Structure 1
Amino acid sequence: MLWPALIDEDICCFRDIKPAAPHHYLVVPTKHVGNCKSLNIQHVPLVKQMVDVGKDVLQKHNVTDLADVRFGFHWPPFCSVSHLHLHVLAPVSQMGFMSRLIYRLNAYWFILI
């Protein structure tokens, strides 16, 4: 797969430039959505599509254990880019200490999907 990969006219996926896990991808809508705080009920299909794209990319890279995967958004003001992007991280069990902190469960700065 060439990177970045335009999945369709709505979604793009690429590797994170500072990977926190062996597989760390960002799934991004091609149309601007500010951040996860900007989401509303109309965005539910888009977010579901983003998660599906993340799962497909992991599967194409032979990551099949979804129990060892983390999907989520950084909650403002803890996001460095003001364009919605879903973090897809796998395997979580191989993440280092700092990465586990930055992308941790039940944190107010990282919202899991």
Structure 2
Amino acid sequence: MSTDPNCIFCKIAAGQIPSRKVYEDDDFIAFHDINPWAPVHILLVPKQHLPSMVEVGPEHAALLGKMMSTGPRLMRELGVTNGFRTIVNTGADGGQEVGHLHIHFIGGPRPWSKG
């Protein structure tokens, strides 16, 4: 499994940087975002260093399927019952800030809603 010694998400996955972890297995880690956009905002991050969705190939299908099917379960466990957003930013023009593939699961009362 490839890692990047300078990547913050590789360091979090390796336990070198603390996080508010909600799930971990051999393939990926899930933790609370340090700058949440909503009451519940978690990131699912593969332990293998993948810079972005651009580098994803058929060999990553099982990993991504596992991440996408685990995310909804984690949101339910965290109390999100009225829907959530799933976001994957890809590349600089796509708003990706960390050069390691990650999936945002964002839920709870919508903070951007004025009501």
TM-score by length of 1: 0.72
Q: How much does 1:20 deviate?
A: 0.6
Hey, which bits of structure 1, 4+ residues long, moved more than 3 A?
Answer: none
Post-superposition CA distance 1:26-80 (Å, at most 9, x none): 0001111111111122222111111122112111112233xx2111211211211
Of all paired residues, the percent bearing the same amino acid is: 27
Q: Of 13, 17, 39, which aligns to 2:56?
A: 39
With structure 2 as the length reference, what TM-score do the two structures score?
A: 0.71
Q: Does 1:71 align with 2:86?
A: yes
Q: Indicate the residue corresponding to 2:67 in structure 1.
A: 50
Local SS of the residue matching 1:64: coil
How many residue pairs match? The answer is 93
Q: Computing the radius of gyration over CA atoms, which structure comes out larger, 1 or 2?
A: 2
Gaps of 5+ in 2: 1-18
Alpha-carbon RMSD: 1.9
One-letter amino acid of the counterpart of residue 74, structure 2:
V
- Which stretch shows the higher mean deviation, 78-87 or 45-54? 45-54
